């Protein structure tokens, strides 16, 4: 089955499930952000700016809604 995502982009079912290891995309934030700059650079690369700031907020004890 083909699904139209945009005017000229389609994705078939096989492409949707190929290599879809969700655990690679889930990052627990309970421990918060690392305290050293090199660790933050590593997290920035994998989480992006928003994810890194959410990790920092978690480390400070600020409320972060589940699912972010």
Instruction: For residue range 10-29, list pLDDT tens digits in order.
Output: 555 655 555 556 566 666 66
Average pLDDT over residues 31-42: 62
- 3 domain residue, yes or no: no
- 2 domain residue, yes or no: no
- 8 domain residue, yes or no: no
Handedness of CA 52, 58, 62, 67 (dihedral sign): positive
Structural domain harbouring 42: 32-62
pTM above 0.85?
no
End-to-end CA distance of the chain: 31
**Does 4 have pLDDT greater than 80?**
no
Contact between 21 and 12 (Cβ < 8 Å): no
Q: How many domains does the chain have?
A: 1
Mean of pLDDT over the chain:
67
Query: Which H, E and C letters describe 26-53, residue by residue?
Result: CCCCCCCCCCCHHHHHHHHHHHHHHHHH
């Amino acid at each position: 089955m083909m699904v139209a995502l945009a005017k000229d982009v389609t994705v078939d079912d096989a492409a949707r499930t190929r290599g879809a290891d969700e655990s690679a995309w889930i990052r627990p934030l309970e421990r918060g952000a690392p305290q050293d700059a090199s660790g933050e650079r590593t997290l920035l690369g994998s989480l992006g700016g928003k994810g890194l700031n959410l990790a920092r907020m978690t480390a400070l004890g600020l409320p972060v809604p589940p699912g972010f």
